[in-house]
Amino acid sequence: MQQFHPILRGLAARLIPAFVLVVVASISPKALALIDVEAFGTTLNLPNSLPTGTVISRYTISLSEICGSASSCPRQFVRLYPYGGDSSAPGPLIPTNVSGISTRLLMNGVPMPNRYGTDGPVTSPLEVQLVRDNRPLKAGNLAGVSYFPAYYFVCPQNGACSLWDPGRKINLRATVRLVNGTCSTPDQSVALPAMVMHKLKGVGSTGDQSGTKGFALRFDNCPPGFARVGYMLTPIGGPAPNFAGALPVAGGSTAKGVAIQITGTNGTPATFNQSLPLSAYSTSTGGTYSIPMNARYIQTEATVTPGTISSMMSVLVDYQ
């Protein structure tokens, strides 16, 4: 499930709630030419309050699994089977056997319909998504109903994609459990102190502690029952500066040659676009948790122009 909210807004940043996601999986080859991919593992623990349209979970199939050692491979034939049944459907969104959850397959970042091939070569990993649909959300099992219960066939050709062709047969197997509630993350403003220019000594410099402001990501009233709670930090805006943990400079900023960098309390730059575990979470008791972090300036160009600067990031909370 994917909801993005502004988090750091420059000198006055905000931490705003977010929920969702879930990724768990295993891959097991079989003897047939079409190799089975088992997506989403054995159990998905989901909040019972997911809004329609939410991306609940993502499973990635690496480019090497599709193309081998090549950096790309020819267009792929794709077949979509609702409910993991025998009849194909146009897609790209097809229903699963769990009420309230549909699925889609992204190739080169684009949801794929039932078709005889992609528009061009495959150049990036495939992604299987589970999406909240407008059916009532209920617990259940995603497993397909056919004798060959795949939801997707993916083959490197423009013809029939049979069990004896090379490629992947993507199965959804997980049992879906519903958990009452989610963590909440309260609104919060973070104002960095002003810094005089001469403390920035060159590109990559972060000055001294006078320009650093501590804050905490908060996860309040997390319910028990999830196997894992994680979070992902994602920059919002234009291209990010070429420095780890640095956020894009938002429109309206007047300072030049400087950005805002997010770090841990030990100064290590934050990791973006990767789910990190909320390690303190207890599946038996739930609870309220916080992760201390810092925001500071970082010089990104040889010349710094004084002024104000603002940036944004989002937090995505994921549950398994």
What structural domains and CATH numbers belong to the chain? 34-179 (2.60.40.3310), 182-319 (2.60.40.1090)
Q: Of the ranges 30-44, 53-67, 118-132, 290-304, which one carries the lowest mean pLDDT score?
A: 30-44
pLDDT value, residue 173: 86
Residue 47: name the closest of 178, 234, 202, 166 by CA: 178
> Within the chain, where are the H helices?
63-67
First vs last C-alpha separation in the chain: 11
**8 has a pLDDT exceeding 60:** no
Count of beta carbons in the 10 Å neighbourhood of residue 124: 15
pLDDT value, residue 240: 82
The first and second tokens of residue 7, run together, are 């988090």
Cα of 158 vs its chain's centroid, Å: 31
**What mean pLDDT is predicted for residues 25-50?**
68
Residues in contact with 212: Cβ distance below 8 Å, sequence separation at least 6, in sequence order: 192, 193, 206, 294, 295, 296
pLDDT tens profile 164-194: 666 788 999 899 999 998 898 877 778 999 8
- Give the confidence band of 162 by pLDDT, cuts at 50, 70, 90: low
Cβ distance 129 to 44 under 8 Å? Answer: no
Give the whole-angstrom CA distance, residue 26 versus residue 42.
9
Element (H, E) at 131: strand 126-132
pLDDT value, residue 20: 32
To 5 degrees, how large is the angle CA 66–CA 3–CA 240? 70
Q: Of the ranges 88-102, 106-120, 237-251, 293-307, which one carries the lowest mean pLDDT score?
A: 106-120
pLDDT tens profile 99-127: 999 999 998 888 989 876 656 788 888 89
To 5 degrees, how large is the angle CA 24–CA 163–CA 169? 15
pLDDT value, residue 15: 29
pLDDT value, residue 134: 95
| Residue position matching structure tokens 């640095």 | 246
**Can you give the length of the chain in residues?**
320
**What mean pLDDT is predicted for residues 296-313?**
91
Give the whole-angstrom CA distance, residue 295 versus residue 63.
35
Residues in contact with 250: Cβ distance below 8 Å, sequence separation at least 6, in sequence order: 9, 10, 237, 309, 310, 311, 312
Cβ distance 20 to 185 under 8 Å? Answer: no
pLDDT tens profile 220-234: 999 999 989 999 898
**13 has a pLDDT exceeding 80:** no
CA atoms within 13 A on the CB side of 207: 24
Give the whole-angstrom CA distance, residue 114 versus residue 126.
15
**What mean pLDDT is predicted for residues 125-140?**
93
The first and second tokens of residue 242, run together, are 């070429």
Count of beta carbons in the 10 Å neighbourhood of residue 120: 10
Q: Enumerate the β-bridge partners of residue 14.
A: 189
Ordered DSSP codes for 269-289: BPPPSS-EE-TT--TTT-EEE
Q: Of the ranges 162-171, 271-280, 281-290, which one carries the lowest mean pLDDT score?
A: 162-171
| Residue position matching structure tokens 């070569």 | 121
- Give the confidence band of 274 by pLDDT, cuts at 50, 70, 90: confident
pLDDT value, residue 157: 63
Cβ distance 34 to 109 under 8 Å? Answer: no
